[in-house]
């Protein structure tokens, strides 16, 4: 009975992620905002959903590496806007000024996604021998997404912060091309997320 309940809960979460990703992609097609389908969060939602449904922890953990800290920053900035009418990072201002009511509801997935993904990973379990493979997958994936975004989208749309970001501005003292600053920010973020996951699930790693 417990096994069946666990299966049902994970299946619901997996379907939830896939529906989120597909809704975001098709809605942007509907709005003729095709560039936005390359947002890493939309791609990540789909991959996490597939990973949960086929019970492949590498797919789940590799996307958490990519999304954990960005989603946490989004949530912090959003709650700061709601509670204090302030924004430390200016990454959720668009939520209150540009989005339709429908899209505002959908965008709340930023708050729910990582807790649900971490819960699914906890239940499915990532073997110790595979934890570093997930980091490699994340680094390869983010490189591919960067170059696809650069080649296939209008840079003025700033998808995946391909043109400018408040965080890359922290490296103002480096006189290097923007894409180098982009990777200098995103790679440590991915590695830090990986270490957070490793710490959270270290007892599971010992058992597997």
At 150-200, the pLDDT tens digits run 999 998 999 999 998 888 888 888 899 999 999 999 999 999 999 999 888
Position 102 confidence tier, pLDDT thresholds 50, 70, 90: confident
Structure letter (DSSP) for residue 149: H
Query: Is the alpha carbon torsion for 46, 144, 39, 126 positive or negative?
Result: positive
Give the per-residue pLDDT at 3: 54
Helix, strand, coil tally for the chain in percent (to 5) = 80, 0, 20
Q: What are phi and psi of 77, to 5 degrees?
A: -65, -40
At 39-71, the pLDDT tens digits run 999 999 999 999 999 999 999 999 999 999 999
For residue 183, the SS3 value is helix
Query: Is the alpha carbon torsion for 57, 108, 95, 70 positive or negative?
Result: negative
What's the chain's Rg over C-alpha atoms? 17
Q: Tokens for 185, please give them.
A: 């920010």
Q: Tokens for 145, please give them.
A: 């997404």
Mean pLDDT of the chain: 89
Give the per-residue pLDDT at 2: 52
Q: CB of 134 within 8 A of CB of 194? A: yes
Q: What is the pTM (predicted TM-score) of this model?
A: 0.91
């Amino acid at each position: 009975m417990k096994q069946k309940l666990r299966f049902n809960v994970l299946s619901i979460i997996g379907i939830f992620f896939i529906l989120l990703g597909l809704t975001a992609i098709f809605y942007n097609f509907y709005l003729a905002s095709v560039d936005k389908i390359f947002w890493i969060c939309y791609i990540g939602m789909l991959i996490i959903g597939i990973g949960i449904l086929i019970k492949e922890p590498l797919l789940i953990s590799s996307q958490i590496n990519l999304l954990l800290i960005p989603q946490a920053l989004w949530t912090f900035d959003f709650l700061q806007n709601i509670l204090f009418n302030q924004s430390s990072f200016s990454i959720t201002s668009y939520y209150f000024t540009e989005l339709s009511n429908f899209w505002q509801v959908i965008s709340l997935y930023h708050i729910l996604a990582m807790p649900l993904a971490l819960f699914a990973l906890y239940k499915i379990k990532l073997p110790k021998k595979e934890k570093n493979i997930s980091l490699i997958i994340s680094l390869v994936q983010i490189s591919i997404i960067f170059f696809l975004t650069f080649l296939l989208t209008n840079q003025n749309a700033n998808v995946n912060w391909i043109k400018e970001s408040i965080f890359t501005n922290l490296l103002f003292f480096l006189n290097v091309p923007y894409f180098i600053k982009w990777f200098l920010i995103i790679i440590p973020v991915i590695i830090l997320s990986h270490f957070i996951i490793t710490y959270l699930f270290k007892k599971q790693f010992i058992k597997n």
